[in-house]
Amino acid sequence: MTSLEQQFAQHQQAFHADPYPSLARRRQRLTALMRALQQFEHALCEAVASDFGQRSHDETRLLEIAPCRQGLKYQLRHLKAWMRPKKRHVHYTFAPASNRVMPQPLGVVGIIVPWNYPIFLALSPLMTALAAGNHALVKLSEFTPATNQVLRQLCQQACADSVSIIEGDANVAADFSALPFDHLLFTGSTQVGRKVMQAAAANLTPVTLELGGKSPVLIAPDAKLARISERLLFGKTANAGQTCVAPDYVLVPRAQLPELISLLKKGFQRFYPDFPNSSSYSAVVNQRQYQRLSHLLQEAKDAGATLISCSEGGNAEQRLLPLTLVVDAPLACQLWQEEIFGPVLPLLPYDDINEAIAFIRERPKPLALYLMSENSALISQVLEQVHAGGVAINDTLLQVAQDDLPFGGVGPSGLGYYHGPEGFLRMSHLKAIHEKGRFSSSQFIYPPFDRPLFQALLRWLTR
């Protein structure tokens, strides 16, 4: 038995010893996690900055620490109500009886974490798993070794009895996916998500897949560009665009394209003055990703696209790539085929709003959709006609930070969800319970079936 299998077996045994942790026990775990998060906050910020080469501590606090703290508070506030069995209707033909649904912990949950938000994408699903009463094995990315060490210390201090941290490369991830978890949650690319789902299928392990895709921004003709340009800019430049729900491309009315370009350039320079020396901007995580983004830009340029840098220059040595707008890139270019995952933003002008809606609908369902409009009829049309994992209207990214909304994809952008009450239910088994008392009306449907009373009852039931 490998070390990985041993750790899994230990958590299975521990769960079987306490298969329904009390409300007090679950609250204790979540509270301990919150305290440890506060204690290790500075170390986590330092570690993420080290792993990325450059990332502002304030950005890490804003995008990772704060959502985790708010999520833990939310879980603690609602946990009692979530755990309470819910009454269900009993048809009068089964009376007297009662029906209820009881959320029961699944067992041992596996969580596979990507590199782009190594704190939030580890702790957010973890707190949901713990709230639902489960144990968890958390596989961290090999690209964030410094952050992994701090998270290991944090979890050992807060929840060593219910959580184990796993590290390693793609081979370890493959072995991890093949374990007979009671649920497996993966955040990452669609390509790897398929492999995770295939591995889980061998054990009939249910999965939650938080994938990516090309999340569009649809700017309607009525949108106020001066108002929404900074919201778009923030969504695209946060973590240097290395966000699964970052705007991937923008559909803009043709007549408004020059104004949008001007506003984005000016806004970027306000956000990050003296860009090459800005401490507020994140580096691309590693050289491999930097080269991939550079290749996307070069290919688009060679194909006739216009590249518009929002800064005078970057810093290749530190992997600081300024936001680059791409206009007139042919649809055959790779930046239209794959998730960009960086500070590169294609702009596609359109002449008719229905043409723009059709463009989105003809492509794989995205993880996020951003609609910039104040036209209520158009908003309703887009919400009804376009499929997406989540939607933000007149803003970007913030739908993920809403504790009471589920977060997840649809189709190639994901399967299942977490956050909110739906996340608790996703990590639970909803056990259906039908309870009878001393008298049971079921006796009237027992054999033999040739009894006149049974025949009359059957005619009545099938009338």
Catalytic sites, residue numbers: 210, 244
Question: Which residues are registered as beta bridge partners of 139?
Answer: 112, 166
Residue 355 and residue 248 in contact, taking contact as beta carbons nearer than 8 Å: no
Query: Between the CA atoms of 347, 348, 350 and 355, what dihedral angle is there, to the nearest 10 degrees?
Result: -130
SS3 136: strand
- 102 HSE (CA, 13 A, CB side): 11
Q: How far is CA 303 from the centre of its chain?
A: 34
Tokens of 207: 């999965």
- Cα dist. 368→103, 122, 204, 217, 432 in Å? 29, 20, 29, 9, 34
Instruction: Find all residues with CB under 8 Å of 240, minimum gap 6, and list them.
Output: 281, 282, 283, 284, 320, 321, 342, 343
- Which pair of tokens denotes residue 67? 């959502």
Number of C-alpha atoms within 13 angstroms, CB side, residue 110?
31
- Name which of 5, 27, 23, 193 is nearest 108 in CA terms: 5
DSSP single-letter state for residue 362? T
Which phi and psi (to 5°) does residue 450 adopt? -90, 5
Residue-by-residue DSSP string for 303-320: TTPEEEESSS--BTTTTB
C-alpha to C-alpha distances, 130 to 30, 158, 340, 424, nearest whole angstrom: 7, 12, 33, 9
CA dist., res. 208 & res. 181, Å (int): 12
- Look at residues 109, 64, 103, 60 and name the one whose alpha carbon lies nearest to residue 85: 103
Cα Rg of the chain, angstroms: 26
